[in-house]
């Protein structure tokens, strides 16, 4: 009897492993910060939020229940955030806010064909660090003191660390296509549901959305 149970357990484990796949992925991320305050204009100064380019890299594990349905979990390091652009006479200041995060997405997957998978699910992300970079443009850009630029960057970094939550939550949807023997292309859009501000004033809200496209490989 023990031998029969052991043989059954080995057969079950082998069958489970046959349906579980590990992989890696990396690519391009385009993110933006959505604020309830919107753009502004005052006294010749105009400003607004813009999208920022970044990247992501990570790993995944997928378990297929059959040829059509699967679940997938991932862990990614992602360079996300947004840009604030402020224009004054003869100079424009672009503040690149790099909100570096560990993103953990979990999705339910449906294979429309053996190569094409569509999926959706929730994600949670955790802050690793916030980095800010100022860029100047315009006729008077060269007149700005570099030490003043660095001081401004540190000020905004401290502001982000003090005012933003360390975690946020959202949903995502996307699709991937197997190109050849485990190599796949993947695209998804994620939209944040969490107000990222710790202590919002007068109903102020800040949420982050991001688009990702890249390549991956599943080891089979």
> In this predicted model, which residue has the larger pLDDT, 39 or 145?
145
Q: Pick the range with the lowest mean pLDDT from 88-92, 187-191, 197-201, 211-215.
A: 88-92
Does 14 reside within a domain?
no
Does 48 reside within a domain?
yes
> In this predicted model, which residue has the larger pLDDT, 144 or 135?
135
pLDDT at position 18, please? 53
Does 4 reside within a domain?
no
Q: Is the per-residue pLDDT at 45 higher than 70?
A: no
By the 10 Å C-beta count (0-12 exposed, 13-18 middle, 19+ buried), 59 is classed as middle
> In this predicted model, which residue has the larger pLDDT, 3 or 43?
3
Q: Pick the range with the lowest mean pLDDT from 73-87, 142-156, 181-195.
A: 142-156
Which residue, 49, 135, 57, is CA-closest to 101? 57
Residue 136 in contact with residue 144, Cβ under 8 Å?
yes
Does 129 reside within a domain?
yes
Does 96 reside within a domain?
yes
How, if at all, do strands 167-180 and 91-111 pair?
unpaired
| pLDDT band with cut points at 50, 70 and 90 for residue 35 | confident
| Mean per-residue pLDDT, 44-57 | 76
Does 95 reside within a domain?
yes
Domain span at residue 193 reads 21-219
Tokens of 34: 């959505």
How many residues in total does the chain contain? 220
Does 6 reside within a domain?
no
Which residue, 210, 50, 29, 38, is CA-closest to 135? 50
Does 76 reside within a domain?
yes
What's the total number of domains in the chain? Answer: 1
* Summary mean pLDDT of the chain: 84
CATH number for 190:
2.40.160.20
77-132, pLDDT tens digit by residue?
A: 999 999 887 777 777 778 889 999 999 999 999 999 999 999 999 999 999 999 98
């Amino acid at each position: 009897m023990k031998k029969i149970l052991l043989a059954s357990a080995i057969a079950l484990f082998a069958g489970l492993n046959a349906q579980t796949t590990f992989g890696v992925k990396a690519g391009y991320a385009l993110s933006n910060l959505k604020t309830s305050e919107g753009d502004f204009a005052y006294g010749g100064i105009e400003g607004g939020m813009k999208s920022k380019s970044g990247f992501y890299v990570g790993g995944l594990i997928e378990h297929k229940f059959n040829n059509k349905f699967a679940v997938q979990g991932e862990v990614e390091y992602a360079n996300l955030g947004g840009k604030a652009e402020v224009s004054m006479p003869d100079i424009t200041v672009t503040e690149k806010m790099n909100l570096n995060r560990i993103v953990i997405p979990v999705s339910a997957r449906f294979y429309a064909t053996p190569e094409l998978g569509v999926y959706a699910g929730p994600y949670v992300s955790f802050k690793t660090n916030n980095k800010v970079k100022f860029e100047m443009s315009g006729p008077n850009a060269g007149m700005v003191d570099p030490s003043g630029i660095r001081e401004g960057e540190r000020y905004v970094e401290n502001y982000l660390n003090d005012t933003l939550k360390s975690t946020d939550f959202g949903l995502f949807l996307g699709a991937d296509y197997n190109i050849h023997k485990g190599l796949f292309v993947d695209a998804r859009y994620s939209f944040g549901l969490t107000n990222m501000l710790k202590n919002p004033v007068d109903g102020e809200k800040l949420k982050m959305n991001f688009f990702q496209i890249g390549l991956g490989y599943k080891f089979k």
